[in-house]
Structures are given as structure tokens and as C-alpha cells.
Amino acid sequence: MNSLKEAFSRKNMLKNLNFFGELNLGLILTAVGIVYFKNPNHFAFGGTSGLSILLADLFPKINVGGFMWIINLILVVLGFVFLGIKTMGWTIYSSFALSFFVSVCEWLYPVNVSMSGDAMLDLVFAVFLPALGAAIVFDIGASTDIVALILAKYTSMEIGKALMVSDILIVLAAAWRFGMGTGLYCILGLIGKSFVVDGAIENIRLRKVCTIVTSNPQPILDFIIKEMNRSATVEKAYGAYTHHELSVLVT
């Protein structure tokens, strides 16, 4: 009994470590994209990072990481008020950890100009890295979007549309502040972000289904179970023309 409890405890500890590692990996990827690709080009295409980039330019005494701390603190307080601490869960950690990683990146290697000298190349990484990070965080059941959680609980508003409106307002503000060229890049980034996030979420846990129709299923089942360490569902069928009995294997 004790050995069973110890094995279960080790399994839970390993599961928690994997969860914590994936969560932080997603947040670090997001932070790198913000600091090294979004901020130097003023790519403010939505979210707390976009708003922070705008505010950091308007009030240069505070950097992007500083404004992310302030904005996320306000959002966490609103989350406590409207959602309660139990509902917030890992969202509290995710919000502050992202601010921390952004601040660490700014401290370790501060940059104010494009790293590649190519705005389009920077835009690709400004979209891809945070989108991949967000997909990893979302995939394991965590979130950094407190606004979406509040909207989901208290309104019948479609969250995607509400967040898109807020992102568009930030893009328009970026176009006003940084010029039409940057604004157009931000529009491309906003469009690209939605496609990349959806694609990354779908492909992280991608599963392929294989259907095999055969009159001799056992050798195939042996291969699937013993060699591939998988299982399969077997159904009995018959050929429409020959009427011979067949097995349909789905794995």
C-alpha cells in the first residue's frame, strides 16, 4: 500500500512539474516576442503587451515590463472582485510571471531598435513567438486573459468579437502614435496572430486516425499493440459486393 501511494505521489509530482515547465515555457516565448520583436518596432497589435508598448512610448520613464506589471495588477484585482480567487487559478501566476519574464528580458538584454533590421522579419517573430506561447499556455488549461474570463461570466457578448474590438482600438492608437506604416504592420500582425494561435493550438495535440479494412486483423492488431504501444477499435463488417466478412480497425 505504501509503495502504491509513493508511486502515485511521484506520478502527481512529475505531472505538476511538466505542467509548470510548459506554462513557463509558453510565458517565456511570449516575453521574448514582446521585448525583442514587438517593442523595438512598436508593434502594438492588442492585449496587455500592445497597450504597454503604447504607454511606454507616451511615458518613457516606465518601460514595457513596468506597465505590464501595473496593467496586470489592475486586472488581477478586477479578477478577484468579479471572479473570485478560486476561479482565477493559474491566471494569477501567469499574469505576474509574464510581467516578470518581460522585465527580466529587458534587464538582461535591453533593445530599442530592430534586431534584424527587417520589419517584416521582425513581424513574423512578433506574431509567431507570442502566439506559440499563448497556445502552449492555453493548451494546458491556463490563461493570461482575465478580461476574457470576466466577459465570459457576466455578459452574453461573444468574447472573440469583444477582444477583437479592443485590439483594433489599440492598433488604431498605434497608427496615430507611430505612423500609418507601423499601423499597417500592426493590422497584419493582428490578422496573423489569430491564425497562428488557432493553428498552433490545433497542432500541439494533433491526432491522426487510421482506418484499416482487412479480412485478417490479428497480425495488424499485434503490430499496433506490441510494436506501436497503441490500441484500436475493431468492428465487424462485410463487403457490399462480395458479402465476405471483414474487420474494420480504427486506431
How far apart (Å, rounded) are the C-alpha atoms in residues 184 and 54?
A: 16
Q: Which stretch of 76-80, 105-109, 125-129, 183-187 has the lowest confidence by average pLDDT?
A: 76-80
- Better pLDDT: 165 or 245: 245
Provide the grid cell at 170: 489599440
The confidence score (pLDDT) of residue 201 equals 58
Cα 72 to its chain centre, rounded Å, is 17
pTM (global) more than 0.85 = no
Q: How do residues 164-211 score in pLDDT, each as one tens digit? A: 777 888 899 999 999 999 999 999 988 887 777 666 555 655 677 889
* Of 190, 174, 181, 163, residue with least CA distance to 56: 174
How far apart (Å, rounded) are the C-alpha atoms in residues 222 and 23?
A: 38
The letter for the amino acid at 160 is G
| pLDDT(53) > 70 | yes
How far apart (Å, rounded) are the C-alpha atoms in residues 182 and 4?
A: 59
